[in-house]
Amino acid sequence: MSQIAKSIQEFGFNDPIAVDENMEVIEGCGRLRAALKLGLEKVPVIVLIGMTSEEKTAYSIIHNKLTMDTGFDQEKLREEIMSIKSINMEDFNFDTYESFFEEDAVKYVVTVNNEVFDMLSGFLKENNIKFKVSKK
């Protein structure tokens, strides 16, 4: 929920909560909890009229599943995330250098002298690139 609240603070409340004609939440419980946490007095709502109880349940489950299953073009996503400098994407659980791209990770083993090591490690640190050093 804290990631949802952070998103609302950063970008605004851009995804309405779906309710039925009795104002019972069908989908958007996380956004509603985040709004309450932020002390918001008003949130956007879309009213879905005429759905049966079974349809409401199915819609809620399907909506969340489809959101999770949309997938990404991993290469394009990596480029886009790497281009974002003013927003900390790790606040939204995007570890831009390691775990998010783990399946696409390429590891290099490089042997360098101390001067090159100092220069390379300085560059990596300045650009917030995580790296590991192993001594042999």
- Is the per-residue pLDDT at 124 higher than 70? yes
Handedness of CA 38, 16, 60, 92 (dihedral sign): negative
- H or E stretch including 37? helix 29-38
In the chain, CATH 3.90.1530.30 covers: 2-69
Q: pLDDT tens across 10-63, in order?
A: 999 999 999 999 999 999 999 999 999 999 999 999 999 999 999 999 998 888
CATH architecture classification, 2-69: Alpha-Beta Complex (3.90)
Residue 99 pLDDT: 46
pLDDT of residue 118: 74
pTM (global) more than 0.75: no
Percent of the chain past pLDDT 90, that is, above it, reads 38
- pLDDT(127) > 60: yes
Instruction: Show the beta-strand stretches assigned E in the chain.
Output: 17-19, 25-27, 45-47
